[in-house]
Amino acid sequence: MNRRALRRVVSNAMVGLMILAVVVALLPLFFILFDLVVQGAGSLSVAFFTRMPAPAGETGGGVAHAIVGTLLIVGAASLIGLPLGIAAGIYCAEYPGSRLTWITRFVADVLNGTPSIVVGVFAWAWIVATQKHFSALAGSAALAMLMIPMVLRTTEEMIKLVPNSLREAALALGYPRWRTSLAIIVRTTMPGIVTGSLLAVARISGETAPLLFTALGSQYMSLDLNQPMAALPLTVFTYATGPFEEWHRYAWAAALVLILVVFVLSVGARLAIRRRFSLNG
Amino acid sequence: MTTTVAPEPVAVPEPERHEPSSLELASYGDVLFRWLLTLAAAAIPVLLGFLVYELWVGSRLAIERFGLDFVTTSRWDPVAEEFGAFPLIFGTLASSLLALVIAVPLSLGVAIYLTEFAPNAIRQPVAFLIGLLAAIPSVVYGLWGIFVLIPILRTSLFPFLRDTLGFLPFFQGPIYGPSMFSAGIILAIMVMPYIMSVSREVLMAVPDTQREAALALGATRWEAVITAVVPYARSGIIGAVILGLGRALGETMAVTMLIGNRHEIAASLFAPSYTMAAAIANEFSEAVGDMHLSALAYVAFLLFVVTVVVNAGARLLIWRVARGSGAGSKAL
């Protein structure tokens, strides 16, 4: 009896420890979100979104240049990365037997594990070093490179969820393969593909490391992709590591904006994906 | 669903023989379609090859000058153009291992609890919340680390550790805020969601018969987990941990902001240190000469090689457990 009781106590104790682990694991999330809101919300104002940074030491600036910069850089990255990633994902799902599929999938996994800073060095060597000046476009290229493997894998996984009978039905009706792929398979999975794309956009909007020596950052509003450009994550980094109290407040506010953007994109995408594919487990 | 009724094909003999051409058109379409997709799919290996090539070109100067001594020497002097990356490599490995020491028990605890014990109602929400940790940008972790985590650690945990475990070399010396330890803790928070979600996928792929058999033999629920479920998923869990290691090795911004950035090796975890990624982030845009740039690119090259090896190993292990079920790849 004693042994039995002991075993039961051990079992319960372990479960208790695991619950503790859950609590400890969730603490940082609440702490971070709480601090962001407490420290950042106070500095949010219309001026923060619409004005340019004030000279160092003065109050009352904004980060309009960084918001515009992030939109442009991420937009350009999506224009390159999304079509390429989605098309390659369709290839991998539609021609599963081909050797290229195996290679591409493997390479996508390798790229997925590649640190973003390394991709930044690549974009620097490829574009910045040859052009001899920093440019937002190099940053977009690096971000696109980070997007491709993510989009590719989600597209492929989503297409694989489509039941084969749907494909067979279309082919039996005399649809050519390309129309089957585009009008039946891709269309059925469109919500999944959109979700995957949104997740990828969310992921790269917060990326800082690949922009450090490509887009570089700037104190001015710039719309020229061929020039250095500010971006929200870079602003957070510069202001957080800078010496001024005022800068630190801006860093918190900018981080709050950044995380809101990222969360809205990724939470929205996740919820959409769950509703759509919950039946498939 | 709307169903459109296709017009009945009328069996009228066509005077002009255009019917085969639509078939031909379809097959042209197929060929074109396949070509376009093949182009996209082939572009990705080409891009990777290009990445390796550019890294090699960028680091060629340093590779020719220092060779493999680069890995083992410790001098980092941009002015004298003498570079050795040993402290960086050491710092990268040490901070990542420290992160794993903290993160692995936590994430496995959470993963096991969520798959085996938790009430159904909280499984998804908790997994979702922890997944949110993975969505927080690295630079935000860095910001939070500088202004919240470090002040807390400096006044509470660090002095406590020095007082109680000060006889160990790891917990001696002056307490700065930015240190190997601070970086390790922030890294642990950052890699935890990855380890958690992949090991959760792997645990969910364990067949129920494993659990039922153990329970039928009279095991308690914990015993069933530890004797029948975890061993079954072992190589997958190891894969998840190695995958976390891969993330930690390449993590840049938060570490750069918290580790103190000093090219030195210290036994104490309270001392500032440096990592490969942090050195690239800090020095690249203001490097003083071609050799300095090249040395940093060499560091990037090494980091790339290490992460590829680590990730490939992790994936092999995960595939062995969850072959075909797609588990693991989802979480990546």
Question: Which residues span the domain enclosing B204?
Answer: 69-321
Shared-domain flag, residues A62 and A164: yes
List the single residue in A with minimal CA-CA distance to B103. A25
C-alpha span between B95 and B180 (Å, rounded)? 6
Shared-domain flag, residues A58 and A15: no
- Domain assignment present for residue B326? The answer is no
- Domain assignment present for residue B232? The answer is yes
B196 CB within 8 Å of a chain A CB? yes
Shared-domain flag, residues A31 and A52: no
Nearest to A104 among B41, B192, B300 (CB): B41
Chain A 120-159, residues with CB within 8 Å of chain B CB atoms: 120-122, 124-126, 129, 134, 145, 148-149, 152-153, 157
Which single residue is written with the structure tokens 């950044």? A258
Q: Residue A76 is encoded by which pair of tokens?
A: 């350009």
Q: Look at residue B6 and tell me whether its pLDDT is greater than 70.
A: no
pLDDT in tens, A17-27: 999 999 999 99
State whether B300 and A39 contact (CB < 8 Å).
Answer: no
Shared-domain flag, residues A17 and A61: no
Longest distance between any two alpha carbons in chain B, whole Å: 99
Shared-domain flag, residues A102 and A29: no
CA dist A239 → A253, B245, B257 (Å): 10, 29, 12
Q: Give Cα A199 distance to the centre of its chain.
A: 5
Q: What is the pLDDT of residue A57?
A: 64
CATH number of the CATH domain containing A145: 1.10.3720.10
Q: What percent of chain B has pLDDT over 90?
A: 63
Give how many domains chain A has, as a whole number: 2
State whether B285 and A236 contact (CB < 8 Å).
Answer: no
Q: Looking at chain A, how many residues does it have? A: 281
List the single residue in A with minimal CA-CA distance to B249. A115
Q: What is the pLDDT of residue B13?
A: 54
State whether A255 and B33 contact (CB < 8 Å).
Answer: no
CATH number of the CATH domain containing B218: 1.10.3720.10
Of B28, B228, B1, B187, the C-alpha closest to A28 is B187
Shared-domain flag, residues A91 and A7: no
pLDDT in tens, B89-144: 999 999 999 999 999 999 999 999 999 999 999 999 999 999 899 999 999 999 99
Nearest to B223 among A7, A90, A149 (CB): A7
Shared-domain flag, residues A191 and A219: yes
Mean pLDDT of B257-261: 92
A65 CB within 8 Å of a chain B CB? no
> Which band of pLDDT confidence, cut at 50, 70 and 90, is reported for residue B327?
very low
Q: Look at residue B83 and tell me whether its pLDDT is greater than 80.
A: yes
Q: Look at residue B326 and tell me whether its pLDDT is greater than 70.
A: no
Helix (H) or strand (E) holding B83: strand B82-83
Q: What is the pLDDT of residue A252?
A: 94
List the single residue in B with minimal CA-CA distance to A200. B135
Residue B287 and residue B78 in contact, taking contact as beta carbons nearer than 8 Å: yes
Shared-domain flag, residues A206 and A240: yes
Mean pLDDT of B22-36: 81
Which single residue is written with the structure tokens 């977009």? A140
Question: Which residues span the domain enclosing A28?
Answer: 2-43
CB atoms within 10 A of CB A254: 30
C-alpha span between A249 and B156 (Å, rounded)? 25
Question: Poorest-confidence range of A237-251, B5-19, B221-235?
Answer: B5-19
- Domain assignment present for residue B315? The answer is yes
Q: Which residues of B13-24 are buried (b: 16+ CB within 10 A; e: fewer)?
A: eeeeeeeeeeee
C-alpha span between B207 and B205 (Å, rounded)? 6
Residue B62 and residue B297 in contact, taking contact as beta carbons nearer than 8 Å: yes
Residue A137 and residue A227 in contact, taking contact as beta carbons nearer than 8 Å: no
State whether A90 and B37 contact (CB < 8 Å).
Answer: yes
> Which band of pLDDT confidence, cut at 50, 70 and 90, is reported for residue B208?
very high
pTM value is: 0.89
Which single residue is written with the structure tokens 């949104």? A198
Q: Look at residue B51 and tell me whether its pLDDT is greater than 50.
A: yes
pLDDT in tens, A34-84: 999 999 988 888 888 888 887 766 677 788 889 999 999 999 999 999 999
B308 CB within 8 Å of a chain A CB? yes
* Residue of B2, B23, B132, B140 best to disrupt the A interface, most CBs of A under 10 A: B140
Q: Look at residue B233 and tell me whether its pLDDT is greater than 50.
A: yes
Residue A233 and residue B137 in contact, taking contact as beta carbons nearer than 8 Å: yes
pLDDT in tens, A138-181: 999 999 999 999 999 999 999 988 888 998 999 999 888 888 88
- Domain assignment present for residue B205? The answer is yes
Mean pLDDT of B181-207: 94
C-alpha span between B233 and B238 (Å, rounded)? 9
- Domain assignment present for residue B64? The answer is no
Mean pLDDT of B270-296: 91
State whether A152 and B42 contact (CB < 8 Å).
Answer: no
| Chain A residue numbers touching B29 (CB-CB < 8 A) | 176, 178-179
Output A131 or B276, whichever has higher pLDDT: B276
List the single residue in B with minimal CA-CA distance to A91. B37
Q: Look at residue A3 and tell me whether its pLDDT is greater than 80.
A: yes
List the single residue in A with minimal CA-CA distance to B24. A176
Q: What is the pLDDT of residue B22?
A: 66
State whether A21 and B297 contact (CB < 8 Å).
Answer: no
Q: What percent of chain B has pLDDT over 70?
A: 89
Q: Give Cα B86 distance to the centre of its chain.
A: 22
State whether B332 and A153 contact (CB < 8 Å).
Answer: yes
Shared-domain flag, residues A107 and A216: yes
B110 CB within 8 Å of a chain A CB? yes
List the single residue in A with minimal CA-CA distance to B38. A91
Shared-domain flag, residues A68 and A83: yes
> Which band of pLDDT confidence, cut at 50, 70 and 90, is reported for residue B183?
very high
Q: Which residues of A175-196 are buried (b: 16+ CB within 10 A; e: fewer)?
A: bbbbbbbeebbbebbebbbbbb
- Domain assignment present for residue B279? The answer is yes
Q: What is the pLDDT of residue B173?
A: 83
List the single residue in A with minimal CA-CA distance to B255. A209
Shared-domain flag, residues A12 and A76: no
Give how many domains chain B has, as a whole number: 1
pLDDT in tens, A27-36: 999 999 999 9
Chain B 68-97, residues with CB within 8 Å of chain A CB atoms: none
Output A273 or A26, whichever has higher pLDDT: A26
CA dist B294 → A133, B31, B42, B80, B297 (Å): 17, 45, 30, 14, 5
**What mean pLDDT, rounded, does chain B reach?**
87
* Residue of B123, B130, B143, B330 best to disrupt the A interface, most CBs of A under 10 A: B143
Using only C-alpha atoms, chain A has a radius of gyration, in whole angstroms, of: 23
C-alpha span between A74 and A232 (Å, rounded)? 11
* Distance in Å, alpha carbon of B294 to nearest chain A alpha carbon: 10
pLDDT in tens, A196-220: 999 999 999 999 999 999 888 888 8
Q: Look at residue B2 and tell me whether its pLDDT is greater than 70.
A: no
> Which band of pLDDT confidence, cut at 50, 70 and 90, is reported for residue A273?
low
Longest distance between any two alpha carbons in chain A, whole Å: 79
Q: What is the pLDDT of residue A281?
A: 36
Shared-domain flag, residues A225 and A183: yes
* Distance in Å, alpha carbon of B26 to nearest chain A alpha carbon: 6
